[in-house]
Amino acid sequence: MFRSQVLRQLARSARVQAPRVAAAAPHNAARPFSSAPARLNKGTNPEDDIENATTSSEPGASGDHEGQYARTQDDIRVEYPEEKDLPRSLPVQGRGGSHFKRTLATFSLDGRVGVVTGGARGLGLVMAQALVASGADVALVDMNREEAQRSAQQLVDTFKEENPDAERLPKVTAHFCDVSSPTSVNQSLAEILKVHGKVDNLVTSAGFTENYNAIDYPHDRMQKLWGVNVDGTYMYAVAVAKHLMERKAPGSIVMIGSMSGSIVNVPQPQAPYNAAKAAVRHLASSLAVEWAHAGIRVNCISPGYMLTALTKKILDDNPELQKQWTSLIPVGKMGRPEDLMGAVTFLSSDASNYVTGADLRVDGAYTCT
Ligand SMILES: NC(=O)c1ccc[n+]([C@@H]2O[C@H](COP(=O)([O-])OP(=O)(O)OC[C@H]3O[C@@H](n4cnc5c(N)ncnc54)[C@H](O)[C@@H]3O)[C@@H](O)[C@H]2O)c1
């Protein structure tokens, strides 16, 4: 900042901080908040209601509602389901297909190969579909190989249905990987390189959330959560960046964070998940800086509440949650997985050539309030 600007700012802040001379105000004039004197004798005066809503009063003095919409509830507990209880998800219909609308060519992923971790279902699957619809070949990477294989086939089938005249079908493959294991990460990438020859794009969607209050959070589950959400994101990004650097090729990495990396959700307690997603967001900025010299862009997408098969199951079991969640979203609705299709295509393609280290929030303005 220029010196003259600094001086101007100093002068401005000195003016703001200077003690105000008490002006002779009429008795009933509105009092500025900052000059309200402490009330020592609380009685029946209706103004007490307002005083009770300030730091001058005891907790609970203004009613049971205090903090009602801004606190977590210790008794909400949701465990990530066993693999056999996880619902399946399907590619979305009517979001691809050839069209003749004018659009920027830089959004195309023609000739690219993308890897999507956690791509067997949920948001990962639909983001993989966006890459396929935009011209890429895709490798789905997941803990659940069978589900990933079914999804890969479904992506090709949906593409065929929506593009009956296509000259070439996309190559979509499925690969087992536990992203929290370095060996598994390296093995799966080696397998992908064998089949596809190269990787240009990575989307890290493998991740999960659980709800326990912090005091009761089982330590092993917390470690597992960070292992998948943070270590898994980091290790896959490093593996792909190494490959890109060896090839001397540019690339784009999109990390799926969450709005929980910037705010604290209520009422469900999930401190480790929130911290994990904050880590993912900052990993994206840190690696964007570290790998900028190699032409590798790293960005984060932070979704808000999205209605996947899994969140639907959680809401079916806890119907009150849905009301509480939607009441806090300015748009008033949860997002759909397909609401991420544009965001992931933008960040993966040359349309976002100068965008790196960014966090793109897709949350219906949740984090604005
Ligand atoms: N659904 C939402 O509302 C929402 C909101 C914000 C962020 N997110 C984030 O988006 C990502 C995807 O969430 P989703 O709702 O699609 O979840 P999901 O459970 O539907 O899908 C996650 C996929 O990741 C896979 N996976 C889990 N652990 C893995 C591991 N160790 N190795 C490889 N794969 C693994 C699962 O098998 C599954 O196929 C997660 O990172 C999640 O935190 C979701």
pLDDT value for 44: 62
Shortest-distance Cα residue to atom 41 of ligand 1: 207
pLDDT in tens, 179-231: 999 999 999 999 999 999 999 999 999 999 999 999 999 999 999 999 999 99
The one catalytic residue in 180, 258, 260, 352 is: 258
Q: Is residue 148 part of a domain?
A: yes
**Sequence letter at residue 217:** Y
- Which pLDDT tens digit goes with each residue over 265-295? 999 999 999 999 999 999 999 999 999 999 9
Tell me whether residue 111 is in a domain: yes
Percent helix, strand, coil in the chain, to 5, is 45, 10, 45
pLDDT at 342: 98
Tokens 């639909």 belong to residue? 126
- CA–chain centroid gap for 241, Å, is 21
* Amino acid identity, position 211: N
Model pLDDT, residue 98: 78
- Which two tokens mark 321? 């949650």
Tell me the torsion sign for CA atoms 205, 207, 213, 219: negative
Which atom of ligand 1 lies nearest, measured to the CA of 148? 39
171 catalytically annotated: no
In a domain, 76, yes or no: no
Please report, for the chain, how many H helices and E strands are present, in that order: 11, 7
Beta bridge partners of 114: 138, 201
**What's the confidence (pLDDT) of residue 41?**
52
Taking the centre of ligand 1 as the mean of its atom positions, its distance from the CA of residue 11, in whole angstroms, is 51
For residue 155, give the CATH number of its domain: 3.40.50.720
pLDDT at res. 46: 66
Residue 283 has a pLDDT of 98
277 in active site = yes
Is position 248 within any domain?
A: yes
Residue 106 CA to ligand 1 centre (angstroms):
28
- Tell which phi-psi region holds residue 349, choosing left (phi > 0), alpha (psi between -120 and 50) or beta: beta
pTM: 0.87
Quote the percentage of the chain above a pLDDT of 90.
Answer: 70
Q: Which residue range forms the structural domain that includes residue 292?
A: 104-364
* Residue among 204, 189, 300 at smallest CA distance from 247: 189
Could you identify the atom of ligand 1 that is nearest to the CA of residue 209?
Answer: 43
pLDDT at 234: 98
**pLDDT, position 51:** 86
Ligand 1, residues 144, 205, 228, 359: which to mutate, most atoms within 8 A of Cβ?
205
Query: Confidence class of residue 341 from pLDDT cuts 50, 70 and 90?
Result: very high
How do residues 120-171 score in pLDDT, each as one tens digit?
A: 999 999 999 999 999 999 999 999 999 999 999 999 999 999 999 999 999 9
Ligand 1 centroid–CA 299 distance in Å is 18
The per-residue pLDDT for range 296-339, each reduced to its tens digit, is: 999 999 999 999 988 888 888 888 889 999 999 999 999 999 99
Ligand 1 center to 102 CA (angstroms): 34
Ligand 1 atom nearest residue 206's Cα: 24
- Residue 265 counted as domain residue: yes
Number of domains in the chain: 1
Q: Please state, rounded to an integer, the average pLDDT across all residues of the chain.
A: 88
Q: Annotated catalytic, 236?
A: no
State the DSSP code for 346: H
Chain CA centroid to CA 339, Å: 12
Query: Is position 141 within any domain?
Result: yes
In this prediction, residue 307 carries a pLDDT of 94
